[in-house]
Amino acid sequence: MPADDRRGASLHDGFVPGRWAIDAYGAGGFRFADMSHRGSILALPSGVHAWDPATPADLTLAAFAPALREADAMELLLVGVGADLVLLPEEVMWGLRERGLRVEVMQTGAAARTYTILLGERRRVGAALLAVP
């Protein structure tokens, strides 16, 4: 799913502005905004950002810095941790909550679907989604 195999918007410098539903996920990436992106993403109020974490072990508090900068614009952050459900380390969960984010952790597929539904309901939601094979 290379970024140049798309119509419409493009992920320039790892970012596409706007609120976009997640149309598909898998094969190591995501489909949204009439484009495909290989790798993990952050879907935030400002737009969709390429995101470096690739495994649950990469989900440190520092990895969530872009989401924390937009915490006031979100009532909920969905975290998709991959194909298998794993919990975030306690220090990460508490660090996010202490900064005002309500966090729900689930498999990436469930998080992508839930994000799209809540976005359609005009909820103030964000998603941090690890890519799945």
Per-residue confidence in pLDDT tens, the chain, 133 aa: 333 333 344 445 678 899 999 999 999 999 999 899 999 999 999 999 999 999 999 999 999 999 999 999 999 999 999 999 999 999 999 999 999 999 999 999 999 999 999 999 999 999 999 999 9
Structural element, H or E, at residue 104 = strand 103-106
Distance, in Å, from the CA atom of 12 to the CA atom of 10, rounded to the nearest integer, reads: 6
Instruction: Tell how strand 76-80 and strand 29-32 pair up.
Output: unpaired
Q: In the numeric block, which tokens belong to residue 25?
A: 């996920």
Q: Which amino acid is at 115?
A: Y
pTM: 0.89
SS3 37: strand
Q: Which residues pair with 10 in a beta bridge?
A: none
